[in-house]
């Protein structure tokens, strides 16, 4: 059995004014909230137990089938802290898929993650990222993060500032798989750091990025398996993203990137 967790507690400031009254994951693209697309994808891949970590405007987070869990400190914490409110699910009994709340992905992308995942942590990365980023912004490297693989295809670096295209062998899309056998170990490192006053890529413990935590897992010897795709998803991070995607849909140019939105 596989369970899913969608991280949707943040305030979505780059999507304002669209997020003035609703959470980021409820912003509509082509007339439907981002979260509805994700729920359809999970159902189509036989995942029925879907948890959503809510926070900002959580009363507006209403989609059939979700199980809400509140991060009461959503306004002063980041993704790893949000995920930790569902720590009890990481008990070794089931595989867990973790998704960021601002992405839309095709059924085939999730199916590939479920089929090809490794024994510990696995993540989807996009080989076609530059084509998508070039539509979204004038300078793709200004937003892209480093992503490097070792000779076995496992991730060895992610989430750093990319200085050139060679630093980006793909782009992590925000979709992760944690195997049942590893799930009860997933937070051991996090708990060992609790109360620390050190900074993690410039952020304190409560505001640690997910990529920072995954990098620390790698550095401690955890195998992070990389699973490549070529398109099949979009990230809705700004008002401009939404406008660009809806124009691409109108012009019949979206199928290359995300068939779900066609």
Please, which residues have CB within 8 angstroms of residue 30's CB and are 6 or more apart in sequence? 245, 246, 249, 261
Is domain 2-254 annotated with CATH 3.40.640.10?
A: no
Helix/strand/coil (H, E, C) string of 112-148? HHHHHCCCCEEEEEECCHHHHHHHHCCCHHHCCEEEE
d(CA 223, CA 149): 11
pLDDT confidence band for 150 (50 / 70 / 90): very high
The model's pTM is: 0.96
pLDDT confidence band for 161 (50 / 70 / 90): confident
> Tell me: the pLDDT tens digits for 105-134?
999 999 999 999 999 999 999 999 999 999
From residue 134, give the alpha-carbon distance in Å to each of 108, 128, 141, 144, 202: 23, 11, 9, 11, 28
pLDDT confidence band for 61 (50 / 70 / 90): very high
Average pLDDT, the chain: 95
């Amino acid at each position: 059995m596989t369970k899913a967790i969608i991280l949707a507690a943040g305030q979505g400031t780059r999507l304002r004014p669209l997020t003035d009254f609703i959470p980021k994951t409820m912003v509509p693209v082509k007339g439907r909230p981002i979260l509805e697309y994700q729920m359809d994808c999970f159902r189509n891949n036989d995942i029925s137990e879907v948890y959503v970590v809510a926070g900002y405007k959580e009363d507006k987070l209403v989609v059939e089938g979700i199980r809400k869990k509140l991060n009461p400190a959503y306004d002063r914490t980041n993704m790893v802290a949000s995920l930790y409110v569902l720590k009890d699910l990481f008990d070794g009994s089931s595989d867990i898929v973790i998704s960021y709340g601002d992405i839309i992905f095709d059924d085939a992308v999730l199916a590939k993650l479920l089929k090809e995942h490794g024994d510990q942590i696995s993540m989807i990365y996009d080989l076609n990222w530059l084509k998508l980023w070039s539509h979204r912004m004038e300078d793709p490297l200004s937003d892209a993060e480093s992503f490097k693989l070792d000779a076995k295809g496992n991730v060895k670096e992610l989430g750093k500032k990319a200085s050139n295209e060679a630093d980006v062998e793909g782009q992590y899309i925000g979709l992760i798989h944690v195997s049942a056998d590893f799930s009860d170990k997933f937070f051991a490192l996090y708990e060992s750091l609790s109360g620390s006053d050190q900074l993690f890529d410039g952020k304190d413990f409560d505001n640690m990025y997910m990529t920072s935590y995954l990098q620390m897992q790698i550095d401690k010897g955890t195998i992070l398996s990389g699973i490549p795709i070529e398109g099949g998803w979009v990230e809705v991070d700004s008002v401009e993203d939404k406008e660009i995607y809806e124009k691409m849909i109108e012009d019949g140019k979206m199928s290359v990137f995300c068939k779900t939105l066609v």
